Structures are given as structure tokens and as C-alpha cells.
Amino acid sequence: MPDVSVVVIVYNDADRLPTAVQSVLDQTLRDVEVVIVDDCSTDRSFEVAQQLAATHPERVRAFQLPENSGAGGEPRNAGIQHTKGRYVMFLDSDDVLEVNACRNMLEAAEDTGSDIVSGLCVRLHKDTRNQKRDEWYSWLYSTTRTIESVTELPDLFVWDTLSTNKCYRREFLIEHDLRFPKGMFYEDLMFIADAYLAAKRITLIPNQVYFWHVFERAAVKSVTNRRHEMTNYAHRLEIHRRIDALLAERGLSEMRLAKDVKFLKHDLVLHLRDLPFRDESYRREFAELSRDYLAGIAPEAYERVQPIQAICAYLLQQGDWDNLIPAVDTLINRDKVSSPLAEHDGRIYWCGGHFDDAFGRQVLDVTDIGYHEKPVNQLFLRNQLTSYRASGGSVTMAGRITNPLGVVPPDAGLKGVLEFSARRRSLQSFQFPVRTLRHEGDTVHWEATADLTAQLRPLGIVDTIWDVRLRLDVDGVRTTTRLTVADTPLAGGPPVRPRLTRMVADHLEPHASSKGHLAFRLVSESRNAERVQELITRGVRGTPGTLAKTGYRKAKALRKKVTSGDNKLRAYHEVFSRLPIKKRTVVFESHLGKQYSDSPRAIYEEMRRQGLDFEAIWSYAGSPKDFPKDVTLVKRWSLPYLKALAQAEFWVDNQSYPLKLTKRPETTYLQTWHGSALKNMGFDQPSLKAQTRQQQAEQQQSLDRFDRFLIRSEHDVHTLAKAFRLKERTLLRVGYPRNDALVRAREREAELGHRERGPLAAELGIPEDKTVLLYAPTFRKAGGRHGRFELPFDVERFADQFGDRFVLLVRSHYLNHVVLPPTVQGRVIDVSARHDVTPILALADGLITDYSSVMFDYALLDRPLVFFTYDYDEYVHEGRGTYFDLLEHAPGPVVRTEDEFHEAIKSFESQSLDYAKSRKEFVAKFGEYDRGDAARSIVDQFFAQWSR
């Protein structure tokens, strides 16, 4: 008895069949047999199969179905009947097995006694240059694991529905009479569902076992590529229904839910994406088919998919076509805002019209996505083409741009250009003015004429595809849109004259790209041009073309290499560092260039105040906005930045300049640092302790660049200075320059007998009579895509409870961000985007934090603090550990739950007195050197000689 039988099915694929069979014969496991089943091909497939059988009589047998069955199921069913091996696998004639597949499968099966062993399937795109590979649900196959029932891993059941990357115990197939459904597409889905549910034990292995060859450009597209066909969709739904029945029969509701989620995420999306490209009757039929099935989907499933997927499914079911088609645009183009959105009761909804349906409100609520907080330049707006007319050499177009929540104000100054650019980057682009721009309901209507024949001069051959963008200027702020073709008929393209003669092409032909956007293709209409095209194609595919292309790619790779990090480092060390030091230059940086803030800012401002004669260079990352105008700005990691650092006399920073930059001995590095430590830092962190000595030495090198290190208490000496292994002589016991303002604020308050509010209060629109609270939590690894930080309390409930007395400012760590619903407007304000926290601290009448070092600074103001440490145990034990027990030293109440938190806010005033003594002790322990003159004392010590 062979160890494994591989059933190879074939239909009109005589050429590739031998390769598939050979991949079985070449297996490292020797005792493997091949059973070929031909689905009554009309080509030589069966002949080839018989030849293979004749060549390998011991190992290959060939069979043929009496008539064509139309799908892969029947041949496989027949194949199973002929197998003799203890295990059975399936292989299609255009694919191959990995050479160790059978051995790995067999070993796993015998080790575990599993009925099914499944391995990684890899799709190889055979038409791409490097055979692009994508791994089929690889997350299921990251480790070897065995499950006693598929219910332990619903993801396997719903996602990996292939029958081919698996090895089945033959007895198991026979015993449970497992067969593929007859004459249906998606036959795998049903078979595998049956098999998974019947299996007593399933083992997954991370090995690649099956290479699925994908031929995108094949003339006859295979089943899965022809998904726009309605029968296809009908078959899919039918299979889903049968599987649902199977699950219902067994009472597997969890699995059903997982399957519903997959249907919304995957199956439905596949078909929805085609919808904008289909006609009315198709859409109607599609909706008809879907509606019934969607009605059976659990509402919980909608919560587990991406908002836009849930929205599309809901609108489809409701038959709301006006909103669905734009929503599909967002489904295809993830970041696009394709709906005007609607505000209702302080929440933001994808669209109006469904507010009376509670479920609809839940699905359409997009408040958390935060569209309402984004300025127009950060929104990718839908721009629907409404008319297209080509006449002579020009194209006249009109369209409407979605205006969500009136982000483009009615009185805004509007300007626009249409930009045609070659899809290949770094080639040319051409611009045409937009003639008309006006508001029309919740859209902005535009019209433009582009005289393409006269003004657009393509090169030809290298720039065959032209994309069109409309760049809209709203009061000087720019946003870019793409033109969605939708149902607008595109007829006629203007003639053009490529620079490489009209032999190569003579017209621009409009079409909709795969994402639904308007684009033009260079085509030739004259017969002559066709012949030239053919010549060119031959040239491009031939030796000279290949050489040219390789050359081009090499040049591109070289350019990339020259501007790579390694070469920049080399430029820094070998070129810039040999230039002379520029006297009286200081490079400032705060939080890796993300902010103009903190002690570097305080020192810089003190230097300016004293009128010193020096060149200030500030490093920025991201946007240079909000940095001072009268300094030299350099982008972090740019060549000017590296040059400035190499030649500077002083570095002033609060975190770290790029670790690999060596500091010249002539340069003085003032490390101000950015906060006293609660949690373990530097070499006190477990991750660094675990490092080898050599790795530690590399870290130490970057720390040894510090010439002076600012200290605000002896606590810093015992913690930071020790953890960074700093020498005593580098320590500068002067306090933090950024805190001078806080110390002065406190002194002034004592002097005046009352608290003064600076200009910030008015800027934020905070009424006189409200008490200001600041919530400033520490950094957390956020799960979301954009590092979104979930507030640990219900912000709407907070606003309702305390909004009449308090205004809550929320400041997330600079690497996190929060989204607030409009309901809390005026009562809760996000101040995360402000560079400098110090004025915010000075404004706040109370601070709520957890473990952020802001507590040490805020304490200087002698105002109430609340510690909301909802994840204390996790933070302290599972994290990197702390230097002291916060519970013991906290100068304010420590609360763990939202209710306790509310209690603490209620008794806010009385706490001010209760904790007065412990606040004093806290300041004495952690801020003894913060005396309000840090900036001046540093400037006196290092820069006094630069006075004019």
C-alpha cells in the first residue's frame, strides 16, 4: 500500500499535466502514487495521462470520465475511488506540490493520528517578473498545531476553504462518504466544510505544500477569475446556504457567526467591488439574490467587520442604491470619503435616512473614524464625473466633489486644476484650469475643458497610461481628488502627438481604472501605427528591450542605494564631519523632531530673550508648521540636517539624535531629557539587561555622547543617571528649563492670591467659570491602525456628568491619538496636537494621569492630581517594572475604575487640601532643583560669551 495517493485532475491542459505529475514523482517521500482523472478533455490530455502511466507503470494510473462534468468535483470523487494509499491528496494539472510536501504531511499525520493535515498554499503569479508570491491565509500556518475539532479554530473553517493543500486519511474519506458536490462552482467549499466537521483531529503545519499557479493574463479565465458572472454568485450563495444548514444541524452558532463575518468581509466584498462597473439590471438581480441571504446574517457579525464593509452590506440590504454606490467607492478606495456624512444628536453617520432604525444607526455611526476632526487636506474626497464630452482636440468634463459635513465652507475661496500625469512616476504632468467651481447642495460642482491635443505631449511607449486628478484649493489648503467614472459614458478620445512620432500612438482613449477612476490610454488608430506597435512590442520583449529595462532598473536601484540610510551615515561621517565646526551654531531637537517644545525650546527662547548672537537650527519631523520662523529648519534625517549636526558647536535635545551618528569631540551635547522616571529606564530595563555585552556597548556609545545631562532631583541621579551609566561630571543639577514657567506660575499665584489664566484659555474657548482638568495618560501600545488610544472611560458620560462645572482637556502621548465625538464639543477638548505641554499644565486646575512623567512637573504647581491607574498590575508586573511604588508615593487619590474616577472628580476641591502635605513631599523628592531659573543658569553657563 503506498503511503500517499495524489489525485491529479485535468481538463484540456495536456501541456502542463506532466509538470504536475512530475512534482509528485519527485517527492522526497518515495512511496507515493499518482491517480490521474481526466474530465473528458477535448485535447490530448488523456493521451498524455496514459503516456505518463505507461512510463511509470508502478506509480501512475490514468482514468477518464465518460462525459465532461464541468467542474473539479466529479473527477476528484472518481479519483478517490481509485486511490490505494493510506493518505490522499488532490492536485490540479496546472499546479505543483512542494518537494517535501508528502513527507511532511505524512510525518505530521502519523505523529498525531490526525484525519486531516493541512499545510501552506502559496499562490505564484506566473506572469509577473519575479513570480510574485502570496501565501494563502498564512496567519493560520505560522506554527505547527493540532486541534481536536475545527470548532477550536473557526478561522480555519471559514477562511481556508481549499481542498488541495491538505492530506486526508483515506479511511476517513470513505467512512464519512466525503464527496464533492456535483456540477457546481466552489465545490471545494462544501467538501471542505463537510471534511472539517467530520474530522476528529486536524493538524496544521507551517510548511509550504502546494504551489497554486496563477495566470492573470490567460485568455480563458478560470472560475475564480470570472466572478462577475451571476451564476457564479448564485452558486456561492447556494453553497453558503448548505453550509449554514450543516452548522445549524449541529448547533454550532459560534461557527455560524464566524462564517457570517467572513461572508461580509470577503465573499460579499468580492462581488460588491464589481458593482460600479455593472449595469442596472445586473445590480437589481444582485440585490435580489443578496437581500434574502443577508437577512439571515447575525447582527453581531456587523460589529466584527470593518465599518465600510458593514455599511455596504446594510445599504445593500436596505436597497439604498443612492448611498450604496458611493459607499462601494470607499470599499475599493479605503481612505476615500465618498458620502456627505450626516450629523445627528452629536454623532456622525455615514448617511442620513436610516435614523429611525436602531440597527441602522449602529452600523452607520462612523464617529470613531474621526472624519469630523480632519481638515480638508487630510480627506480624500469622492469626485464623481457627471459628464464627459470629447470634441476635436479637447475634452470637456464636469463633476461633483463630495463635501462631507461642509468641510468646504460655502464662502471659501475655491481654485482648482485638472492634472494629467503619467502613471509611471517621475515622468511629465500637464495641468488645465478648472473653469467653474460652485457649491451645489452637499457637493462642489466643477467644470473644466482640457485641450489635450494642443497641450498634452506624451513621449510615447513609456507613458501609455495617464491618470487624472483634480487638485482643489480651499482657502489656500489643498486637497487632491481622483475622478470616479461611475455611470458616465466615456466616448471619444482626442488625438495626440507623442514626441516619439505619431507612429507609436495617435489617440488618448478614456477608460475607468480598476479602482473606478478616470484614466487615459495611449492608442493608435491608424493601421500604420499598429504595425509600428508590433515592432515596438517585439523590441521591448526582445534582447535590446530587456537590456534597456535591466539598465533602467539598475539605475533605479542605484539611486535608491545612494539615498539610503547607510550612505547618509557615510556622508555624515566621511564628508560632513571633516568640514570645520561652525562657531555659534546650535541644533535643537525635541522628541525626535516631532515638536517645538520642552526644555530645548525653553533654552532657545531664553537665548533669544537675552539677544545672543548665534545661529539656531531646529530639527523637525513631519510638518515644519508651528516651528519658529526666524530659525534654520532642517528635516530630520535629511542631508542638511546631518550637515548641520556635523558642524554644530552645540547639540540641545531631549531624547536622542539618531543613534548611529557619532558626535565630534568639538561639539557639546546638552541632553535635557524629558521627564523623571517612574518605570525602569536604560540598562535597568529587562530587555537591555538580557542583551549581550557587545550589544550593550553599542547602546552605551550613543549614551556616552551626552556631555551634560540635566537633573531635577537626586531621584534622577539614582535612576536615569545610573540607568544610562552616566559619569558624575556630566550631571547638571539645575532642574528643567521647561518647568521654569510652572515654578513662576506658582509663585505668581501666591503673590496675587489668585490664579491667572493665560491667553490659551480664550484660544480654546474655555469659559471663565469652568474649572479646567487635564487628562494626560502615558504611552500605550495601541491596537489600532493609527495608534489610536481608547480612553479608559466613557467620555460622553463624563461630559454629561461634569460638563456644567468642568472642561476636560485630553492630551494623548505624542505617539498615540484619540478621537472625540462631537457630542462633547466644548466640554472635552483634544489638545494632543499642541506642541508644548507646559502652557496646558499651567492652565489646568487639576491633572488626571496614570504613570506619565507629567506628574512630576505638574506637582510643581501645587494643584490637585488624580491617578487613574486602571491597568496598574499589568503595567507593573508584566511590563518593565518601576523604580518606586506609585501607590505609596502618589500625591493624590489613586483610582482603578471609572466609578472611582467619577467619585474622585466629585470631591475634587476637598482633595486639594487633603493632599497638600504629600504634594510638598513629592516635589521635595522629585523636583528639588526646579527653582525657576534653569534656562537662565544654563544659558549663563554655556552661551553667555555669545552676547553681542
Binding site for another protein (CB under 8 A): 3, 28-31, 98-101, 103-104, 106-107, 110-111, 142-144, 205-208, 685-693, 877, 880-881
Q: How far is the CB of 102 from another protein (least distance, A)?
A: 10
DSSP string, 197-237: HH-S-EEEEEEEEEEEEE-TT-SS--GGG-TTSHHHHHHHH
CB of 886 to another protein, least distance (A): 15
User: What residues have CB less than 8 Å from 362, skipping those under 6 apart?
Assistant: 302
103 or 568: CB nearest another protein: 103
* 141 CB-contact burial (10 Å; exposed 0-12 / middle 13-18 / buried 19+): buried
Between residues 625 and 693, which has the closer beta carbon with respect to another protein? Answer: 693
Please state the closest distance from residue 557 (CB atom) to another protein, in A: 17
Q: How far is the CB of 551 from another protein (least distance, A)?
A: 21
- Count of CB atoms within 10 A of residue 279's CB? 8
Quote helix, strand, coil % in the chain, to nearest 5.
Answer: 40, 20, 35
User: Which has the closest alpha carbon to 7: 35, 26, 30, 32?
Assistant: 35
Q: Any idea of the CA torsion for 931, 935, 940, 941, to the nearest 10 degrees? A: 90
Nearest to 481 by CA among 502, 493, 467: 467
Picking from 655, 607, 649, 654, the residue whose alpha carbon sits closest to that of residue 631 is: 607
**Least distance CB 885 / another protein (angstroms):** 12
The residue among 91 and 258 lying less far from another protein, judged by its C-beta, is 91
The distance of closest approach from Cβ of residue 575 to another protein in the complex, given in angstroms and rounded to an integer, is 20
The full DSSP string for 865-888 is: EEEE-TTHHIIIIISS-BSS-HHH
Q: CB 815 → another protein: shortest distance, Å?
A: 23
Choice between 207 and 479, CB closer to another protein:
207
Task: State the minimum distance, in angstroms, from the CB of residue 60 to another protein.
Answer: 19
Q: Distance of CA 692 to CAs 236, 685, 698, 933, Å? A: 56, 14, 10, 42
Nearest to 414 by CA among 431, 396, 439: 439
How far apart CA 930 and CA 235 sit, in angstroms, is 74
CB of 24 to another protein, least distance (A): 15
User: DSSP strand E in 277-413: where?
Assistant: 336-337, 342-344, 347-349, 380-391, 394-402
CB of 110 to another protein, least distance (A): 5
The SS3 call for residue 104 is helix
Of 210 and 806, nearer to another protein (C-beta) is 210
Between 595 and 680, whose beta carbon lies closer to another protein? 680
CA distance 397 to 121: 47
Which positions ≥6 away from 655 have C-beta within 8 Å?
589, 590, 591, 592, 673, 674
Do the strands 166-169 and 116-125 form a parallel or antiparallel pair, or are they unpaired?
antiparallel
CA dist., res. 393 & res. 451, Å (int): 6
All three cell numbers of 50: 496514459
Q: Which run of H or of E encompasses 840?
A: helix 838-843
Pick between residue 112 and residue 655 the one whose CB is nearest to another protein: 112
Tell me the C-alpha distance between 260 and 266, whole Å. Answer: 10
Q: Would the CA dihedral through 703, 705, 709, 714 be positive or negative?
A: positive
User: 135 or 940: whose CB is closer to another protein?
Assistant: 135
Q: Which is nearer to another protein, 42 or 130 (CB)?
A: 130
Considering the complex, state which of residue 86 and residue 636 has its C-beta at the smaller distance from another protein. 86
Nearest in space to 179 (alpha carbons), one of 83, 74, 85, 89: 74
Smallest gap from residue 679 Cβ to another protein (A)? 12
What would the DSSP string read from start to end of 611-661?
A: TB--EEEEEESS--TTS-TTSEEEETTSHHHHHHHHH-SEEEESS-S-TTP
Q: CA of 476: how far to CAs of 405, 408, 412, in Å?
A: 19, 12, 9
Alpha-carbon span 467 to 437, nearest angstrom:
21
Shortest Å distance, C-beta 406 to another protein: 50
Write down the least CB distance from residue 138 to another protein, Å.
Answer: 9
**CB closer to another protein, 191 vs 851:** 851
Q: Smallest distance, Å, CB 101 to another protein?
A: 8
Minimum CB–partner distance for residue 210 and another protein (Å):
12
Alpha helix positions (H), 143-206: 154-159, 170-175, 187-198
Q: Which is nearer to another protein, 107 or 238 (CB)?
A: 107
Residue 144: CB minimum distance to another protein, A: 6
Instruction: Kindly give the pairing relationship between strand 87-92 and strand 166-169.
Output: antiparallel
- Measured from the CB atom, the residue of 768 and 878 that comes closer to another protein is 878
Q: Would you say 265 and 212 are in contact if contact means Cβ atoms under 8 Å apart?
A: no
Give per-residue burial for 896-930: e unless 16+ CB within 10 Å, then b: eeeeebeebbeebeebbeebeeebeebbebbbbbb
Stretch (H or E) spanning 510: strand 507-512
Nearer to another protein, 135 or 229 (CB): 135
* Residue nearer to another protein on the CB measure, 209 or 324: 209
Q: Give the whole-angstrom CA distance, residue 257 versus residue 310.
A: 14
Nearer to another protein, 206 or 640 (CB): 206
Q: How far is the CB of 719 from another protein (least distance, A)?
A: 15
- Cα 29 to Cα 840: distance, rounded to the nearest angstrom: 70
The length of the chain, given as a count of residues: 948
Quick one: 458 or 682, whose CB is closer to another protein? 682
For the bound state, the minimum distance from the C-beta of residue 554 to another protein, rounded and expressed in Å, comes to 17
Q: Specify the residue, 200 or 583, whose C-beta has the smaller distance to another protein.
A: 200
